[in-house]
């Protein structure tokens, strides 16, 4: 039915002369109609994807914004600190910060999706009016949507200081919303939603303009003004 009506519309656009004898103006209009038809399909399919996946972000966003009204517990994490004693062979096992990260994951039985490590070399510092050598310090951060672990090890110590943050259901939603500790699949999923919103904006504006020059000029002017205002606010912040 839609194809039949489209064919009739194209016939009306081209006129009795047909495609072969169409004037340049008719050919240009025909290309515009074909492009708008393709654009409408893209808009519909991207909108379907955005509606299916964006529903999750919409629901979690409403819960986060109205957690006080809905009387949802506002505590996002439960924090605790522990000290893990190194084994007798700890000095030989912990050869570098990566070995420390692997040892922590085994001890805590926690495979962090995001593993961040940092090494501060030994250096001379002034303490009590004396220059002393400060040992090297290793820090390891393990993150997942449900838990965060921050560990610090002073090279030469017999223990590792560990701060553990267990996320509450609200905290898990927040961390997922910010892709904290999320795996590559979740980050890619979030990126497709963001890209889909951008595509929906541009295709929607082009469909509204119907490729008319005045409307396109209005869209370009409005977007330029918004971009300039956003840049001004960002630079003045």
Domain ranges of the chain: 43-74+182-203, 77-167
Average the pLDDT over 124-140 and give the result: 83
The answer to whether 164 and 80 are in contact (CB under 8 A) is: yes
The answer to whether 141 and 162 are in contact (CB under 8 A) is: no
pLDDT at residue number 74:
61
* Residue 88 pLDDT > 80: no
Measured CA to CA, the distance from residue 221 to residue 189 in angstroms comes to 32
- CA atoms lying within 13 Å on the CB side of residue 79: 5
Render pLDDT for 223-233 as a digit per residue (tens, 0 to 9). Answer: 888 888 888 88
Residue entry with tokens 């500790």: 181
The answer to whether 192 and 49 are in contact (CB under 8 A) is: yes
Residue 177 tokens read as: 């919303």
Strand partners, 82: 162
Bridge-based pairing of strands 114-120 and 137-143 is: antiparallel
Strand partners, 117: 140
pLDDT at residue number 162:
92
Q: What separation in angstroms does the CA of 103 have from each of 83, 87, 108, 149, 181?
A: 14, 11, 9, 13, 19
pTM for the predicted model, two decimal places: 0.52
Strand partners, 143: 114, 148
Residue 153 tokens read as: 């090890």
Q: What value does the CA radius of gyration of the chain take, rounded to a whole number of Å?
A: 30
Average the pLDDT over 16-38 and give the result: 71
pLDDT at residue number 75:
64
């Amino acid at each position: 039915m839609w194809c039949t009506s489209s064919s009739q519309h194209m016939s009306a656009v081209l006129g009795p002369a047909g495609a072969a004898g169409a004037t340049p103006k008719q050919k240009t209009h025909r290309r515009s109609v074909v492009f708008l038809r393709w654009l409408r399909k893209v808009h519909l399919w991207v909108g379907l994807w955005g509606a299916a996946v964006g529903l999750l972000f919409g629901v979690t966003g409403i819960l986060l914004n109205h957690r006080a009204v809905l009387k949802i517990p506002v505590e996002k994490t439960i924090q605790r600190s522990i000290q893990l004693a190194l084994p007798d062979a700890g000095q030989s096992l912990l050869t570098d910060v990566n070995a420390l990260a692997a040892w922590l994951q085994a001890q805590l039985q926690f495979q962090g999706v995001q593993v961040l490590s940092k090494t501060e070399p030994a250096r001379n510092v002034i303490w009590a009016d004396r220059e002393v050598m400060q040992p090297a310090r290793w820090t390891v951060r393990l993150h997942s949507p449900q838990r965060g672990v921050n560990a610090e090890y002073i090279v030469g110590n017999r223990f590792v200081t560990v701060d553990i943050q267990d996320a509450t259901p609200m905290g898990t939603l927040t961390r997922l919303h910010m892709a904290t500790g999320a795996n590559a699949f979740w980050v890619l999923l979030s990126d497709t939603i963001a890209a889909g919103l951008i595509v929906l904006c541009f295709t929607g504006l082009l469909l509204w303009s119907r490729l008319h020059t005045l409307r396109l000029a209005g869209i370009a002017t409005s977007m330029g003004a918004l971009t300039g205002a956003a840049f001004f606010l960002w630079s003045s912040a």
